[in-house]
Structure 1
Amino acid sequence: MIKTLTFCFFAFASAAHAMGPWNSDCHGTTPCEIGERSYHVLEPEGWDGETPLPVLMHFHGWSRTGKHAQNSERIGASTVRRGVLLVTPNGANKTWDFWQADTDDVAFGDAVLADVAKRYPVASDKIYVSGYSYGSAMAWRYVCHSGNDVSALLGIAGSISQSETCDEAPAAVRHVHGLNDTVARVPLGQGDAAPLRLWRARLGCEDSTPGGSWQAREFLTLERTNWDCADGSVTVDLHPGGHFVPHGWIGRQLDELLGLTPSYP
């Protein structure tokens, strides 16, 4: 599980100062290989080669690959401008097995983060996990079993069953969903009118507070709801649209998590 990687993150980050600038033989369109599987990595612009990097591990949507997220203005362009290392695993047969708790894809995610820590100095307190659609469901599944050292889950239009019981959980959960999404239903939870029942129960959330409305583009307004929880925080942004990654959503979450002034793109 990801908890076992904490030592690796600190060890490799310390080694970076002794070794000088880091180099990786795989980045951009050249995949990093782990056995028969692989992932892609996209370095942020202006990185000095030494400063430990926040990491966003993003699970791609169905029938796509990690390269799609890196080439996306709504994902890759958001990380490179904010000093974040984007890590995009490739799903077997371009999909993810998130249906059951014992999926091998959780272990694959662990292996990816461990390999990244061998190649780059990682800011171990700034590990974020995101995904879109099937990839969002995979991100939920991943942090459900390897999430204790994850700073935030950023879910986009996909989830696992709200009746799941998770052994682990990230420090913060942020999710966005379209109210007219006909591909993946908004994760309400049976008998509960408020979204993200699974995480609100797992993190000990009680009363919600309105977070106001915001938009990165004038044609799409997102309405936010926040929960302060005993063991973390939960935020959901709902919009009137369908099944897509909203403009500026990833960037805004990273800005808020990193203490930056929200900007677009």
Structure 2
Amino acid sequence: MQAFDRHGVLVIAPDGVEGSWAHQGSPSSRRDENAFLDALLADIARRWPIDPARRWASGFSQGGSMAWHAACYRGRSFTAFFPVAGAFWRPHPASCSGGPVNLLHTHGTADTVVPMAGRPIRQTFHQGDVREGIEFWAAQDGCTAGPARIETVGQLNCEIWSPCAGGREVRLCLHPGGHMIPSDWAEMALTWAERVSAR
């Protein structure tokens, strides 16, 4: 949390019902998480003077998948998304109503809980392929084909799609670990979010 304090970020950490989120493709998908997001943002606005130009969404594991869901269906409500170790579940959406978004996704190449290629869950549900999802976002955002460049931040190797529509940016940052949040992730993600939100 020190990085969030240094950047002056108020952290709101909702927990899904019974520890799960009803993003597309999940076992709990019958709940209306879009209505929840709308109510949550309205409640936050009543309680704190949040700068709408610095309103970001993140999450880890299934929370990361929920951040992808928010980017797809409530993309205009946030200026940046930086999920970790959780992406779309199948079926991937054909399109998103949230418009172009700034998205930085972080994932471990040795993750076996949410593998890069996805995996079946109880023979009924299926985690999606992370790289396929990133390529979806690059197309959704109207980015140049293929990552334009690669940057290294500590143990993170970040592939960058830019320029994209409206000055947006898509990043896929990989590390060699498993299902975890890398120690240098928070500072990297917050610095990125501040930069893209200032455009």
TM over 0.5: yes
Q: Which residue of 1 aligns with 2:182?
A: 246
Aligned: 1:209 with 2:139: no
Q: Measure, in 2, the Cα distance between the counterparts of 1:149 and 1:234.
A: 17
Instruction: Look up the SS of the partner of 2:2 in the other structure.
Output: helix
Q: Which residue of 2 aligns with 1:172?
A: 102
1:227 maps to which of 161, 177, 180: 161
Unpaired runs of 5+ in structure 2? Answer: 117-129
Q: Which residue of 1 aligns with 2:127?
A: none
Alpha-carbon shift at residue 185 of structure 1 (Å): 2.2
Aligned: 1:128 with 2:56: yes
Instruction: Look up the SS of the partner of 2:115 in the other structure.
Output: coil
- Structure 1 outlier segments of 4+, above 2 Å: 99-103, 209-212, 256-259
Higher relative contact order, chain-length normalized (CA < 8 Å, sep 6+): 2
The one-letter code sitting in structure 2 at the alignment partner of 1:222 is L
The one-letter code sitting in structure 2 at the alignment partner of 1:211 is I
Instruction: Look up the SS of the partner of 1:131 in the other structure.
Output: coil
Q: Measure, in 1, the Cα distance between the counterparts of 2:186 and 2:75.
A: 19
TM-score normalized by the length of structure 1: 0.61
TM-score normalized by the length of structure 2: 0.80
Aligned: 1:237 with 2:164: no
C-alpha spacing 1:225/1:79, structure 2 compared with 1 (3 Å): same
- Indicate conservation of the 8 Å contact 2:71/2:101, yes or no: no
- In terms of fraction of residues, the more helix-rich structure is 2
Question: Could you say which structure has the larger radius of gyration?
Answer: 1
Aligned: 1:94 with 2:36: no
The one-letter code sitting in structure 2 at the alignment partner of 1:197 is E
Q: How does 1:8-47 map to 2 (within 5 A)?
A: none
**How many equivalent pairs are there?**
174
Aligned: 1:185 with 2:128: no
- In terms of fraction of residues, the more strand-rich structure is 1
Q: How does 1:87-166 map to 2 (within 5 A)?
A: 87-100=12-25, 103-161=31-89, 163-164=92-93, 165-166=95-96
C-alpha spacing 1:128/1:200, structure 2 compared with 1 (3 Å): same
Identity between Structure 1 and Structure 2 (%): 32
Unpaired runs of 5+ in structure 1? Answer: 1-75, 190-194, 216-220, 260-265
Q: Measure, in 2, the Cα distance between the counterparts of 1:171 and 1:144.
A: 8
Q: Deviations over 1:197-222 (max 9, x none)?
A: 2211110112322232121xxxxx11
